[in-house]
Amino acid sequence: MGDTSAQKRFQRKGSKQANGSSMISSVPTLEEKLAEKQEREKIVLWRRPIQTLNYFSRECGILSAEYMIKLWNNKKSVLLIAMLIGGYYAAYKTPGPHHPLLQSVAKECWWCAWWLWLGILSSVGLGTGLHTFLLYLGPHIASVTLAAYSCNSVEFPSPPYPDDIMCPEEEVAAKEMSIFTIMSKVRLEAFMWGAGTALGELPPYFMARGARLSGYDPDDEEMAEFEELQRLKERPEDMSFIDRVKLSVEKLVERVGFFGILACASIPNPLFDLAGITCGHFLVPFWTFFGATLIGKAIIKMHIQKMFVIIAFNESLLARAVGLLAFVPVIGSKLEQPFKSFLEKQKKKFHRKPGTSPESQDGVNIIAWIFEKFILLMVAYFIISIINSFAQSYHKRKHKMERENKLAKD
């Protein structure tokens, strides 16, 4: 009566394992699995800080050693990359006519790498749900949109763009600002962010593919969810609405192939991890999966998201939306004034003279301050989640090694 869904899953899984005496010796029993899972969930910073930090540092040490071994095994490639970076650095530090070009290349590379990394973080998330589009790329596109309509131009002086946005000093002929002009201004960062989200979808694909090829059933929550879905196919009456949606995603990917993956990747889809696991499980070729994912996320989906943000922050539409805040009962007027003040200060900031800091001219706006603190809290939560995730991974690794040692002794 008090069984959780995880317990039911383990019970169905454990009933199959109990049939073979050879599997009993190598696979933990149902009770052991449940006890281990419950123990692992308690390893978090706010419950067991010392143990969590200890396990986190041990897992970091093990992963560092593993990656050092991989680098040593590929030392020729590592040496070639190190020589290229060293050669570039030497040329970068040497004065000459080539220096401005190298500075421009370095700036573009760092800019692309930043958005690529944010895209990977958004897709991987490590169980936090950290969505860097809402925290970084969306606000960046919104700022460019507000500045474009205010300045009637996207030719912002660089520097300070992209770190800060200022209107060009020369007067711009009056013309209507186009959505497509703004989209082209943010195309590079949006594409790199989308490519990062596509790269972040590879771990579930490789995990499922490796499990299928090796025949080994990994102790992973996402794989367990996928296996549970396969078993539910035989009992459709037990399926919930979410299970039916997941099954429809799996059928679309399995039957349509490239275009099914493309369709799933081209729309906001929280179940896309399941599509990656399905592709890995059914041994869909890597370039079929990654190509469709890259085109869907970095090109189609990003253009949809860019257009949505640009339309939402259209000058007239935004002013109308802020005006509607006044009709909110009781607190309407109190909400409207800070937003109006924020928009006015943003316009003044775009039109300020070069060398003038926005803080000295406008002061700190309460909305910008709240958003900044919100981002800091999200990043702090993300770091804490990484620590918890690594500590729990070490706990799983530790128990697995203990079982293997026990089996070797037997």
Q: Which run of H or of E encompasses 404?
A: helix 366-409
d(CA 270, CA 290) in angstroms, rounded, equals 17
Q: What is the pLDDT of residues 114-147, one digit of tens each?
A: 999 988 888 775 444 457 788 888 889 988 998 8
Average pLDDT, the chain: 76
pLDDT category of residue 410 using cuts at 50, 70 and 90: low
In DSSP notation, 10-33 reads: HHHHHHHHTT-HHHHHHS--HHHH
Who's near 14: CB < 8 A, 6+ residues apart?
A: 29, 30, 33
Residue count of the chain: 410
193, 115 contact by CB (below 8 A): yes
d(CA 153, CA 129): 35
Residue 353's pLDDT band (cuts 50, 70, 90): low
SS3 content of the chain, % helix, strand, coil (to 5): 75, 0, 25
The dihedral sign for the CA sequence 333, 334, 339, 345: positive
**Mean pLDDT to the nearest integer, 242-261:** 72
Written as one letter, the residue type at 113 is A
pLDDT digit string, tens, across residues 207-223: 878 777 765 555 555 55
Q: Which residues contact 209 (CB under 8 A, 6 or more apart)?
A: 279, 280, 281, 283
Alpha carbons 313 and 141: distance in angstroms, whole number = 9
How far apart CA 277 and CA 229 sit, in angstroms, is 12
Whole-number pLDDT of residue 401: 85
Banded pLDDT at 16 (limits 50, 70, 90): very low
Q: Letter for the amino acid at 286?
A: F
- Distance between CA atoms of 136 and 118, rounded to whole angstroms? 8
Q: Which of the residue ranges 61-70, 150-159, 287-296 would you say has the lowest mean pLDDT?
A: 150-159
